Amino acid sequence: MADAILANVEERADLLIAETGRPRDLAMFELAHLAAGYLNYYGTLRIEPELIVEDDTRRVELHRKPLGVVAAIVPWNAPVFIACNKIAPALAAGNTIVVKTAPSTPLTTLRLGEIISGIVPAGVINILSGGNDAGAALVSHPDIAKVTFTGSTETGRKIMAACAPTLKRVTLELGGNDAAIVLPDAKVEEVAAPIFAFSFFNSGQVCAVIKRLYVHDSLYDAMCDALAAMAKGSKLASGREADAQFGPVQNKAQFEKVCGFVEQAKRDGKVIVGGEIEDGPGYFVPLTIVRDVAEGHAIVDEEPFGPVLPIIRYSDIDDVVERANASPFALGGSVWGSDVEAATKVASRLESGSVWVNQHCALDPAVPFPANKQSGFGVEGGLEGLYPYLALQTVNIAKPAAA
């Protein structure tokens, strides 16, 4: 399947650009690096029985067996990658899967189905489009053994409720409000560029990009100025334009939501770049950075899921860790500083499922990506991401008594 995606990746990228508006480099990254990368990784994994006990009286083995039929519901922000991130472990575990596309990005996922239709037996991978009713029918179906969902926390709660009557297994990767903490020993000239990149990656439409940036008093003004300059120098345009660096918000409902956050940011803090949304075709929101805000404002407490970044001042390490952890979300977080050991100690105090030091959202198919608190539960990625697609069985064998 990975080879088939890569065989004509430019054509796949054209469709992804048309459907999401993202720049070509980002579309190619989703297909060639993420989608193909996760498929290739899970293609290498093999699950064998584990020997737990063997003595003169017994042999105990731990087996992992396929669950049966898996239902996967994918979001619109990375429709090919997230579909493959669910298809790959489901098949590696020996299951079949039904994938429901996001209503606003069905084409690239359906095209994936066409590409792989001659590779797997009929019925092993099933891709269908539809709205909320289709998703509800799928997750409540008695023949579904497991549901894996990536999307909003609100929808995740509804899926849990629908799965309860039949006690389906559930993996939920939900919303995030990732905090990044810049320590006082950080060098602004070194960390500003990667912080900018992972705050506005895919125009902020990623669950695990930086959503709240906490900066120490001593660096606050310099960091605000550096990030504002980068935003002002960026090109916002349709992904069809060769020099586009950032694309539009993908759909009208999300566009209106992000516009609401921008207006709130203008009231609650000081917008230092962006903030003015022009009338015209396309759901374009300029990269917007707001300073002099704090908890208690929606732009800090909630997830815009768009190109809006609040920069929050702090002076005490213990205080900023407490503030970062106060969110009901706990998907990812990062700490930035010159003393890597000290930064790692601070990172270990964060409650998020993934923490990074001097980087953010560093996804790797071999590295588990868990979710905590209201960002979901379960894990994707790595060998640990394969286990939820398997049922455990212990085989306990009595040995005949010695003659």
| Spatial contact of 112 and 62, defined as CB atoms under 8 Å apart | no
| Spatial contact of 188 and 225, defined as CB atoms under 8 Å apart | no
pLDDT value, residue 135: 93
- Give the span between the Cα atoms of 299 and 297, in whole angstroms: 5
Average pLDDT, the chain: 96
Residue 330 lies in a domain: yes
CATH number of the domain at 21, please: 3.40.605.10
Q: Are residues 183 and 164 in the same domain?
A: no
C-alpha distances (whole Å) from 9 to each of 75, 175, 250, 294 are 21, 29, 21, 43
Q: Are residues 189 and 328 in the same domain?
A: yes
| Spatial contact of 147 and 158, defined as CB atoms under 8 Å apart | no
Query: pLDDT tens digit string along 270-303?
Result: 999 999 998 889 999 999 999 999 999 999 999 9
Residue 167 lies in a domain: yes
Q: Are residues 338 and 390 in the same domain?
A: no
Residue 365 lies in a domain: no
| Cα dihedral 125/154/178/354 (nearest 10) | -50
The domain of 262 spans 179-357
Q: Are residues 14 and 57 in the same domain?
A: yes
Q: Are residues 127 and 276 in the same domain?
A: no
Q: Are residues 183 and 108 in the same domain?
A: no
Q: Are residues 37 and 55 in the same domain?
A: yes
C-alpha distances (whole Å) from 197 to each of 209, 229, 308, 338 are 9, 13, 13, 19
Q: Are residues 307 and 212 in the same domain?
A: yes
| Alpha-carbon dihedral sign for residues 40, 78, 310, 232 | positive
pLDDT value, residue 403: 63
Structural domains counted in the chain: 2
Confidence of residue 204 (pLDDT cuts 50, 70, 90): very high
Q: Is residue 163 flagged as an active site residue?
A: no
Q: At what angle do helices 79-92 and 106-116 cross, to 10 degrees?
A: 40
344 versus 377: which is more confidently predicted? 344
Evaluate if residue 59 carries a pLDDT over 70.
yes
86: Cβ–Cβ under 8 A, 6 or more apart, which residues?
A: 70, 72, 74, 97, 99, 148, 150, 380
- Which of 19, 30, 163, 207 is catalytic? The answer is 207
Query: pLDDT tens digit string along 76-116?
Result: 999 999 999 999 999 999 999 999 999 999 999 999 999 99
pLDDT value, residue 401: 85
Q: Is residue 207 flagged as an active site residue?
A: yes
Q: Are residues 16 and 156 in the same domain?
A: yes
Confidence of residue 402 (pLDDT cuts 50, 70, 90): confident
- Which of 30, 173, 303, 380 is catalytic? The answer is 173
Q: What is the full DSSP assignment across 180-199? A: EEE-TT--HHHHHHHHHHTT
- Give the span between the Cα atoms of 284 and 279, in whole angstroms: 9
Q: Shortest CA distance to 306 belongs to which of 270, 263, 336, 365? A: 263
Q: Are residues 128 and 64 in the same domain?
A: yes
